[in-house]
Amino acid sequence: MADRYIYGFHAIRARLRAAPGSVKEMWVDESRRDARMRDLLALMSGAGLTVRTADGGRLDKMVGGARHQGVVAKVEPVAMARTLDEVMEGIEGAPLVVVLDGVTDPHNLGAVLRSADAFGAHAVIAPKDKAVGLNATVEKVACGAAETVPYLMVTNLARSLDELKEHRVWTVAADANADKTIAQIDARSGIAWVLGAEGAGLRQLTRKTCDEAARIPIGGSVESLNVSVSAAICLYESARQRG
């Protein structure tokens, strides 16, 4: 994987804490000297990094006009598990996985990764087609979770679901029409929560390949939840059951 740019205070602070050696170059807005920037500069100095200054226009060009908050870094990929087998080999206890089908919004992926990190998920899996990859927006929204939770993009999602079953991981589709609620699913053993994009939902083959389906009980006037919210609720249910 090639070097890439990340931006924003949360993303860069998280990278400096998790893998300072992966930060190759750093730029800050020469006009910004507030307390938040001073704190970040101190953290950079402690990591032995040389910081370059640039005007806002140059930083805008580096990240395609995204909201960089005056800080941009060029980083190399952090080594994490790259295959499902590698992930499973490193797990102690019951696996907890999120599978995303058709999620293309980087903000949603970033939020899912953040929840995955918060509730102890071991990986997030998505198909290579019709799915968003890791990019600077994902990393900023994830607030460091992109460096701690493996994100596996697979060629065949249905095959990967079968592989999860071979590892004794129960695959549960989040389906608003399911008879069971997520609280009625035994999430204490290995489990993979399988979620589709809001609106489109899960593809038919993905839904058929899952062992079971469960719904998040909701009231009010809304018919569905954002996929990142749904993922957080399912992961919390797993964490609650596991104590």
Q: Which fold has domain 4-75?
A: 60s Ribosomal Protein L30; Chain: A; (3.30.1330)
Q: What is the mean pLDDT of the chain?
A: 90
Domain coordinates of the chain in residue numbers? 4-75, 84-242
Query: Which pTM was predicted?
Result: 0.74
Least confident among 25-34, 72-81, 85-94, 176-185 = 72-81
pLDDT exceeds 80 at position 78: no
Query: Could you tell me the pLDDT band of residue 77, with boundaries at 50, 70 and 90?
Result: confident
Phi (first) and psi of residue 30, to 5 degrees = -65, -20
| Per CATH, domain 84-242 is 3.40.1280.10 | yes
DSSP-derived letter for residue 223 is: S
Query: Could you tell me the pLDDT band of residue 99, with boundaries at 50, 70 and 90?
Result: very high
Nearest to 71 by CA among 110, 32, 114, 22: 32
pLDDT of 110-134, one tens digit each? 999 999 999 999 999 999 988 998 8
User: Which tokens in the block code for residue 162?
Assistant: 């079968």
Least confident among 158-162, 212-216, 221-225, 231-235 = 221-225
Bridge partners (DSSP) listed for residue 99 = 125, 194
State residue 1's pLDDT score.
Answer: 56
State residue 188's pLDDT score.
Answer: 96
pLDDT of 9-40, one tens digit each? 877 887 787 778 888 899 999 888 899 899 98
